[in-house]
Amino acid sequence: MPASTYLKISQDINQTFLRFDGIKLSDKSFEFPLYYGFKISYRLKFVNPRTFVELEFIHSKVYSNPEQIVRAVGIYRNALVDSVIRFGDIVQNFSISHGLNYAILNYGYKVGLKSYIFPFLKFGVGISVPHFETTIDSLSFERYEVNDFVVQFSCGADFKIYKSVLGMVELKYTSGEIVNVGIYGGTAETFIKMFHFVFGLGYSF
């Protein structure tokens, strides 16, 4: 569930330098391409048996609705703008669908309740690799880029299903800026904050 955000665009090609505020986003997690992720954890027994490090990859997504009303401030085709407009009048598409990818290194703390449920807390830092997709004034552009840092806070629990097979539920919060990402004839910037509720299966070695 992504929070509302801003989009700043700089296009020398048509003398447009605008900031849009109040952009509502959706995630469409169960529509193709699907939201997914995976992680590999390692217990730090030499530090504390309850601590662990983890490598995690998250493939999330965000979409904007061009019909929404937003505030636009700046310069549009060399003319000053400061007004409330329909987003799609200038930006026909702003999405990150293939996707908003994160590679994160986590550090966590896990405890055992009885012998089959294991709550945990974790914090992580990583990088974003977004597939930024825009159509601005009918000029489309998209590509993957290694971009800025992202931070993650998370809590959840693992629980035994059968022998070494585990189930997992987790609530996570990610926050990260995307800067100087390519658009047609220029660059863009935004900030994505998102809550994720995830579930899945794991295996303990």
**Under 8 Å between Cβ of 83 and 23:** no
Whole-number percent of the chain with pLDDT over 70: 100
Closest CA to 79 of 90, 70, 68: 90
The length of the chain is 205
Q: What is the pTM of this model?
A: 0.91
For the stretch 163-175, pLDDT in tens is: 889 999 999 999 9
Higher per-residue confidence, 141 vs 163: 141
Burial (CB < 10 A; 0-12, 13-18, 19+), residue 202, is: middle
Q: What is the pLDDT of residue 163?
A: 85
Report pLDDT digits (tens) over 190-205.
Answer: 999 999 999 999 988 7
Residue 155 has pLDDT above 80, yes or no: yes
